Amino acid sequence: MSTEESNLTAAPTSWVSESCTLPTAEQPLREAEFDDLFASAVRQVEQPEPGLLRLELVPTADVAETAARLVVKETACCSFFTFTLTATGGVLTLEVAVSPAHVEVLTALAARAKSVSAGTTS
């Protein structure tokens, strides 16, 4: 079993880490919340380095509020994520950072964001 497989839950499209403290039954609901954000608000996905994901979001107050609420909930169960939401010059950016131990989770999250925002995943 690869390191990535051992760090992720069994669901084939899941990016959720086994270290997530959210009850297993609630994890698909949280993933769906992220999918909704990815589908409706992500303009661009970049992973400039292994431990950093940058999402350019539609720059509206509603999107900023949705993203902020979601990342506050996510840090309660997955404290290894560091989220930075920045609004400046008409651009809204959500950065997600992790330590080297959680790069596989971030890479899976980036892949999910790319596929959902591009409309290539249901």
Domain layout of the chain by residue ranges: 23-117
Banded model confidence at residue 22, pLDDT cuts 50, 70, 90: low
**23-117 — its CATH code?**
3.30.70
The winner for highest mean pLDDT among 30-39, 71-80, 94-103 is: 94-103
- Provide the percentage of residues in the chain whose pLDDT is more than 70: 79
Looking up tokens 């990342």, which residue turns up? 71
Instruction: Report strand pairing: 82-88 vs 52-57.
Output: unpaired
The answer to whether residue 13 scores a pLDDT higher than 60 is no
CB-based burial label for 20 (10 Å; 0-12, 13-18, 19+): buried
Task: Quick: pLDDT tens for 33-64.
Answer: 999 999 999 999 999 999 999 999 999 999 99
